[in-house]
């Protein structure tokens, strides 16, 4: 698929990581956006709070699609009184029946005080077995670093995402060290 003369696969540059520990959850996203081999933005904000600051989302993929995805999730949250599980499942149901939604090239991590989900561009709703999940170009690196930090340190959730994102930035060329962190 081409937009503005570029293939969507040419866009890289997102690492999103969520970690839950000791009753707190932190979600971090790097600020880098690249086009082919060129960094075109250093300070993108890919993590934000929605639904009266009760839900934190971090998104990867085409920006307009990710924002649309986030807005649709927020509409579901309003409809289902902030129930993240129900909202995510209902959004996935819509995904299966709406041709426009099936074309969104984005994925998202959504968390509240007790739940953590990966919402994929295929209409999947995945609750990780562990208390951490990563997506995007450096997501695997950040998730691996978080897993090690969870196992071998007593750091809190915010400190773990900060350290794990620094590790991802040192390895993944599509991840920078300008990080946005939201915590609840």
| Terminal-residue alpha carbon distance, the chain | 38
Number of neighbours of residue 124 by Cβ within 10 angstroms: 13
Check: CB of residue 73 under 8 Å from CB of residue 57: yes
d(CA 111, CA 54): 9
| Residue 153 DSSP class | -
d(CA 18, CA 158): 9
Bridge partners (DSSP) of residue 114 are none
Which two tokens mark 23?
């009753």
d(CA 62, CA 107): 9
Which two tokens mark 10?
């040419």
**Active-site residue list:** 14
Number of neighbours of residue 145 by Cβ within 10 angstroms: 24
């Amino acid at each position: 698929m081409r937009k503005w003369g570029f293939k969507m696969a040419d866009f890289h540059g997102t690492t999103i990581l969520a970690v839950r520990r000791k009753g707190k959850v932190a979600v971090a996203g790097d600020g880098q956006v690249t086009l082919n081999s060129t960094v075109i933005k250093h300070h993108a904000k890919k993590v934000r709070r929605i639904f009266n600051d009760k839900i934190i989302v971090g998104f990867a993929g085409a920006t307009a699609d990710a924002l649309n995805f986030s807005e649709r999730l927020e509409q579901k949250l309003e409809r289902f009184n902030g129930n993240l599980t129900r909202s995510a499942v209902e959004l996935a149901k819509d995904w299966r029946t709406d041709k426009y939604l099936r074309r969104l090239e984005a994925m998202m991590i959504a968390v509240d005080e007790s739940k953590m989900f990966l919402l994929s561009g295929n209409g999947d709703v995945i609750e990780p077995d562990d208390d951490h999940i990563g997506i995007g170009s450096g997501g695997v690196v950040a998730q691996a670093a978080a897993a090690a930090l969870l196992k071998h340190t007593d750091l809190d959730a915010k400190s773990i995402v900060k350290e794990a994102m620094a590790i991802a930035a040192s390895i993944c060329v599509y991840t920078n060290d300008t990080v946005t962190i939201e915590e609840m």
